[in-house]
């Protein structure tokens, strides 16, 4: 359908052009700046923004070129972006959990996805129960109730993991903690089929109402009600979390622990409770994400959250672990880019997105929004 070789040639060409622009800027413009590091950073940011804009423009032109004249390419792109709403909200929840744990415990939590899947299994079991025993209950109520149950289960598992396993471990290095989460992945993925048996019914969508239709910039767009509700739930949860981080005492404690755990504990912050709560909240967010995601997969399975998990790591790297809002921008960018690229280079969209992230991270090792941390020797 689309000219693939042209796309590849274009990517190589655009990277080359960006490089030349950057070199020219470096030679002729940044020499005049007094603060060289700052100038370098500004130059990099300009190059990155130009690059991402160019990429979107290029995809737009490709789509426009290949579509029949009736449909404007803008509509096509917008509707594609809207199709990714569910993915974006799920990814945002999962990524926030991972970043929260990274900030308070300085480890990458590989078990985030599997704890969330455990929650999804609980939800599926409950829904099976509801449909058998409480036939008059509406679908939305059943899903919301089971979602809450799933989230609470994951919350408890999170507390358990931090306060029982990680706190009593002798190896408290980041790699050691990472290994513990890996072990948890194995334990839970083995235990889930044993505990829950075979689950026949899928988790239903929040609502099966017809799609919401609306016009935006002269384009007729539609979004599924499920994705819309998912977006609302995500926005509400994340708003509550970020408000709490910004304005409550607990949030202050989290930020203090994130910047330095030892000093925070010396200043009277109860870092044990802070880390346990961050594990619990990460589990909570993950479970909500898993329950929202499941209707798009056919059934609840052990590998439900694995792709989301990998994407969440990528988003956290791209947006930088050191901020909370940076990863959120990345969580919007990754699914949207994947969705658009699936039109241009079908099957290869994930590989291309990972390559782009790799290139960006090579240029800016601390991520798009990260600041360089001076290392003590």
Sign for the CA dihedral angle at 307, 359, 331, 222 comes to negative
DSSP for 289-346? HHHHHGGGSSS--TTTTHHHHHHHHHHHHHH-TT-SHHHHHHHHHHHHHHHHHHHHST
> Residue 157 Cβ, how far from other proteins at the closest point, in Å?
14
Residues 22, 313, 324, 369: which binds other proteins (CB under 8 A)?
313
Structure tokens, 251 = 């949030």
x/- mask, other proteins, residues 172-201, rule CB under 8 A, reads --xxx-xxx-xxxxxxxxxxxxx-------
Question: Coil, helix or strand for 170?
Answer: coil
**Residue 361 burial by Cβ neighbours in a 10 Å radius (0-12, 13-18, 19+):** middle
**Which are the contacts of 73, defined by CB distance < 8 A and separation ≥ 6?**
60, 61, 63, 64, 67
Quick one: 192 or 332, whose CB is closer to other proteins? 192
Between 55 and 151, CB nearer to other proteins? 55
- Asked if 5 interacts with other proteins (CB under 8 A), we say no
For other proteins, which is the closer residue by CB, 82 or 188?
Answer: 188
> CA 61 from chain center: how many Å?
28
Which whole-number Å values give the CA distances from 236 to 53, 72, 183, 254, in the listed order? 30, 34, 33, 20
* Nearer residue to other proteins within complex by CB, 70 or 194: 194
Closest contact distance (angstroms) between CB of 134 and other proteins is 31
Distance from C-alpha of 111 to C-alpha of 181, rounded to nearest angstrom = 5
- Work out whether 260 is an interface residue with other proteins (CB under 8 A): no
Instruction: Using the rule CB under 8 A, give the single segment among 15-23, 66-74, 242-250, 315-323 that binds other proteins.
Output: 315-323
Question: Is residue 169 close enough to count as binding other proteins by CB under 8 A?
Answer: yes
**Least distance (Å) between residue 186 CB and other proteins:** 3
> Rounded to an integer, what distance in angstroms lies between the CA atom of residue 290 and that of residue 86?
11
Of the listed pieces 16-24, 42-50, 326-334, 361-369, which binds other proteins according to CB under 8 A? 361-369
Binding residue for other proteins, selected from 87, 89, 96, 108, defined by CB under 8 A: 108
Q: Segment near other proteins (CB under 8 A), from 6-14, 40-48, 264-272, 305-313?
A: 305-313
Contact 207, 229 (CB under 8 A): yes
Q: How far is the CB of 106 from other proteins (least distance, A)?
A: 8
In angstroms, what is the C-alpha Rg of the chain?
A: 23
- Give the integer Cα–Cα distance in Å for 328 and 358: 18
- Whose Cβ is closer to other proteins: residue 122's or residue 192's? 192
Q: Does 361 bind other proteins (CB under 8 A)?
A: yes
Shortest distance, CB of residue 176 to other proteins, whole angstroms? 5
Q: How far is the CB of 222 from other proteins (least distance, A)?
A: 30
350 binds other proteins (CB under 8 A): yes
* C-beta of 231 vs 345, nearer to other proteins: 345
Give the residue with the Cβ less far from other proteins, 6 or 176. 176
Site string for other proteins, 87-106 (x = CB under 8 A): ---------------x----
Both tokens of 187, joined, read 């334990």
Q: Lay out the site mask for other proteins across 128-167 (x = CB under 8 A, - = otherwise).
A: -------------------------------------x--
Q: What is the Cα–Cα distance from 86 to 192, expressed in whole angstroms? A: 25
Q: What is the DSSP annotation of 204-273? A: PPS--PPPEEEEETTEEEEE-HHHHHHHHHHHHHHHHHHHHHHHSHHHHHHHHHHH-HHHHHHTT--HHH
Q: Collapse the DSSP code of 365 into the 3-class scheme (helix H, G, I; strand E, B; otherwise coil) and give the result.
A: coil
> Is residue 338 a contact point for other proteins (CB under 8 A)?
no
Contact 2, 340 (CB under 8 A): no
365 near other proteins, judged by CB under 8 A? yes
Number of shown-chain residues binding other proteins (CB under 8 A): 47
Positions in the binding site for other proteins (CB under 8 A): 102, 107-108, 110, 165, 168-171, 174-176, 178-180, 182-194, 306, 310, 313-314, 316-317, 321, 347-348, 350-351, 354-355, 357-358, 361-362, 365, 377
């Amino acid at each position: 359908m689309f000219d693939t070789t042209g796309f590849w040639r274009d990517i190589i060409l655009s990277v080359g052009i960006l490089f030349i622009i950057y070199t020219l800027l470096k030679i002729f413009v940044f020499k005049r700046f007094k603060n060289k590091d700052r100038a370098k950073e500004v130059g990099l940011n300009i190059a990155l923004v130009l690059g991402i804009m160019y990429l979107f423009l290029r995809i737009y032109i490709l789509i426009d070129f290949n579509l029949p004249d009736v449909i404007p390419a803008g509509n096509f792109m917008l509707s594609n972006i809207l199709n990714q709403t569910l993915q974006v909200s799920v990814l945002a929840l999962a990524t926030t959990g991972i970043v929260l744990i990274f900030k308070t415990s300085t480890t990458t939590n590989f078990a985030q996805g599997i704890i969330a899947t455990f929650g999804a299994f609980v939800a599926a079991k409950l829904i099976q129960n509801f449909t058998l025993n409480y036939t008059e209950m509406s679908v939305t109520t059943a899903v919301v109730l089971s979602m809450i149950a799933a989230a609470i289960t994951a919350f408890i598992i999170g507390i358990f993991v931090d306060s029982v396993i990680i706190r009593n471990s002798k190896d408290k290095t980041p790699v050691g903690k990472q290994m513990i989460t890996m072990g948890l992945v194995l334990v839970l993925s083995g235990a889930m089929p044993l505990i829950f048996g075979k689950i026949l019914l899928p988790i239903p969508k929040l609502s099966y109402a017809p799609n919401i239709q609306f016009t935006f910039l002269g384009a007729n767009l539609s979004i599924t009600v499920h994705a819309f509700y998912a977006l609302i739930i995500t926005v509400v949860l994340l708003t509550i979390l970020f408000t709490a981080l910004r304005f409550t005492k607990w949030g202050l404690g989290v930020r203090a622990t994130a910047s330095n755990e030892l000093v925070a504990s010396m200043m009277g912050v109860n870092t044990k409770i802070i880390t346990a709560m961050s594990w619990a909240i990460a589990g909570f967010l993950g479970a909500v994400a898993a329950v929202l995601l499941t209707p798009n997969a056919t059934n609840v399975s052990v590998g439900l959250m694995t792709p989301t998990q990998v994407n969440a790591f990528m988003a956290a790297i791209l947006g930088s672990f050191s901020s909370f809002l940076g990863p959120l921008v990345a969580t919007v960018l990754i699914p949207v880019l994947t969705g658009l690229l699936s039109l241009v280079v079908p099957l290869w969209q994930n590989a291309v997105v990972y390559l782009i992230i790799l290139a960006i991270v090579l240029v800016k090792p601390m991520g798009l929004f990260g600041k360089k941390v001076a290392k003590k020797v």
